[in-house]
Amino acid sequence: MKLHQAYKPLATAAVLAVLLSGCGGGSGSGGSQSSSNETLDKNVKASISMAGWSLDMTPEFKTLVDGFEKEHPNIKINIKQYSADDYDKQLTADISSGSQPDVFPIKSLQKYYVYSQSKGMADLSDIAKGYEGDKNIDVSQYKMDDGKYYALPYRADAWVLFYNKDMFKKAGVSEPDGTWTWDDYTKAAEQLKQKLPEAGYDANSVYPIYQHTWQSVVQAFAQAQSGKEPKDNFFKGDYSYLKSYYKRALKWQDEKLTIDWNTASTNKVQYQPQFGTEKAAMMPMGTWYAAVLVEQQKNGQANKFEWGLAPVPQNPEVRNKSSKPITFGDPTGLAISSKTKGDQLKAAKEFVKWCAGEGGSKALANISTTPAYFSKSVTDVFFKVDGMAKDQLSEKTWRVHDTRPENPVGAATDTIQNVLKDTHSSIMTETKKVGPALDEAASNIKDQGVLDE
């Protein structure tokens, strides 16, 4: 009896929650139900909502919307602003209450996997099929086991090596040639360490490289270049492939080739000024940084210097079978709400298709943002931007790479990733030795009981 009464408020709350979500949900589909393959009639007006974050600092959403609306005057897209840092938390809440916007970006493949379990995303296989054989775009990362697609990429950033050509020239060290392994990278850094002060750079504040504090800077390269499938190491609880990558990372900070992790982490060092104000000659970073660098060199937040892109160094121990350099990077995708119906669904699909294709890609390339569609004309637009790197190697680096997901995608990923984050700080602060720290990680991950599920 007591229990029964205790449940009453809960039941009331549940009823109320259903009522509330009912109000927020239906964005009012006026049109008739018809096959989703049909495109929207040019004379039918439709208005859809789209999620975006930090709109004043992230011009890509507005650029896409403006470009699309110009070509499709009958469709109006309203951008709903989210917080950049808490985007996935807010979207999770929206999807679970059924109030997600019609179109929403998917920041990472892992979150794509999580959302695909929610039934909150519409099936986009019909659009994806149109791109499947296209050499200029890779949609395969969004293909689920059942062959369906719930999102399409509109940005395909990959990690590359940014380097400061002026600093290399002044120090007299030979620039990356596109064939580097991590050992070559270390050698070049050691030479720079010696020669940069002679070339007039402050020995105390200028470093050959900047390794940012994120765990991906060590772990995602190691995983992508391990030569093994994630099911044979990452999901199996074997993290020995991280060992040589951590040994190198520690060597770099011990030899003061980079700011040590502890200092960078407690002072919350930002990577943009490190490279932008010539505090580091080389920096592995995602291609999104190109847009920032171009912008900052224009507005004076960054120094004016010549820079270039090179492929990230490769694993010296495992020979690369493919001719393309192996790196990592998650595409950013667009998904459509499963609640969107009728004309709105048609309009949303039209928009997503446009963003993934040449039209959207050109618009993005024009603001130095790496798009998903790498055709010749898109590449030309990207490298024609004033202030962008100009040389052959940069162009090839940007266009050609074998890109693996930042994290292998699966049910256990978030947990493994979370435990490995602690491991990363243990190792990089040198409070634990590499071997024991990795063993401990393996045992902790096993204890979470996620590997066999």
Residue pair 183/368 in contact by the 8 Å Cβ criterion: no
d(CA 87, CA 451): 28
Q: Give residues in contact with other proteins (CB under 8 A).
A: 6-7, 9-10, 12-13, 16, 89, 92-93, 95-96, 114-115, 117-120, 262-263, 265-268, 414-415, 417-419, 422-423, 425-426, 429, 431-432, 437, 443-444, 447-449
Bridge partners of residue 282, in order along the sequence: 163, 209
d(CA 189, CA 284): 13
d(CA 40, CA 369): 29
What is the smallest separation between the CB atom of 20 and other proteins, expressed in angstroms? Answer: 10
Closest CA to 334 of 142, 63, 158: 142
Q: Which is nearer to other proteins, 402 or 430 (CB)?
A: 430
What is the smallest separation between the CB atom of 105 and other proteins, expressed in angstroms? Answer: 18
What is the smallest separation between the CB atom of 148 and other proteins, expressed in angstroms? Answer: 17
Assigned token pair, 33 = 């139900």
Q: Which is nearer to other proteins, 172 or 449 (CB)?
A: 449
What is the smallest separation between the CB atom of 91 and other proteins, expressed in angstroms? Answer: 11
What is the smallest separation between the CB atom of 393 and other proteins, expressed in angstroms? Answer: 37
d(CA 77, CA 65): 7
- Residue 376, C-beta contacts closer than 8 angstroms, at least 6 positions apart: none
Q: Which is nearer to other proteins, 218 or 389 (CB)?
A: 218
What is the smallest separation between the CB atom of 423 and other proteins, expressed in angstroms? Answer: 7
What is the smallest separation between the CB atom of 388 and other proteins, expressed in angstroms? Answer: 34
d(CA 203, CA 192): 11
Residue pair 366/288 in contact by the 8 Å Cβ criterion: no
Backbone angles phi, psi at 49, to 5 degrees: -105, 155
d(CA 193, CA 180): 18
Residue pair 65/77 in contact by the 8 Å Cβ criterion: yes
Q: Which is nearer to other proteins, 119 or 129 (CB)?
A: 119
